[in-house]
Amino acid sequence: MTYQIGSLLIVTYAWLKAGHIIFVIFWIAGLFMLPRYYVYHQESAPGSDEEKRWIEREKKLRKIIITPAMILVWTFGLLLAYITSAWTQGWFLAKFAIVVALSGYHGWMIDYGNKLEKGIRPVSGKALRIMNEIPGIAVALIVVLVIVRPF
């Protein structure tokens, strides 16, 4: 009986980790694309057909890819953390802090999309391009923490 539970946990762990990484890729790919969409959106004339097309594209990217992927990354990640007792490990606590910050960035991007839809464009294209680097830096730090486990 114990053997069956053990092998079931190993199989579950492997599928959870596979699912976790698949949705990490979707989430991060979406976070790379969205600020780019906002930059091109802001280059279109307010109220134009082109602006309406950007609003539709952004909505689809947020609702179909980015937000569902983030929810699944968290779900698989928290289940993995439970199975592996990751909370006791320094690398994981550092990773978790960066992921919470990245989720905050996600929230800011969603809110900015709602502003753009109302015709409000408070941030310059240049600043949005710089912000586009944030997910890249976060991913590099997270992958080093989870693979190298420096502490």
Selected from 30, 35, 77, 113, the binder of ligand HEM by CB under 6 A is 77
- Beta carbons of 135 and 28 less than 8 angstroms apart: yes
Task: Round to whole Å and give the CA distance between 25 and 99.
Answer: 14
Give the Å distances, CA to CA, from 141 to 5, 17, 71, 94, 135.
34, 19, 21, 9, 10
Distances (CA, A) of 31 to 47, 82, 122: 25, 27, 19
Closest approach, Cβ 74 to ligand HEM, in A, equals 5
75 φ, ψ (degrees, to nearest 5):
-60, -55
Comparison of 17 and 121: residue with beta carbon closer to ligand HEM: 17
Tell me the residue nearest to ligand HEM as measured from the CB.
Answer: 77
28: left (phi over 0), alpha (psi -120 to 50) or beta: alpha
Question: Does position 69 bind ligand HEM by CB under 6 A?
Answer: no
Least distance to ligand HEM, CB of residue 148, Å: 10
Task: Choose the stretch contacting ligand HEM; rule: CB under 6 A; options: 17-25, 37-45, 56-64, 118-126.
Answer: 17-25
When asked if residue 80 is in the footprint of ligand HEM (CB under 6 A), the reply is yes
| 45 DSSP assignment | P
Q: Which of residues 85-144 bind ligand HEM (CB under 6 A)?
A: 86, 99, 139, 142-143
List interacting residues with ligand HEM (CB under 6 A). Answer: 17, 20-21, 24, 28, 73-74, 77-78, 80-81, 84, 86, 99, 139, 142-143, 146-147
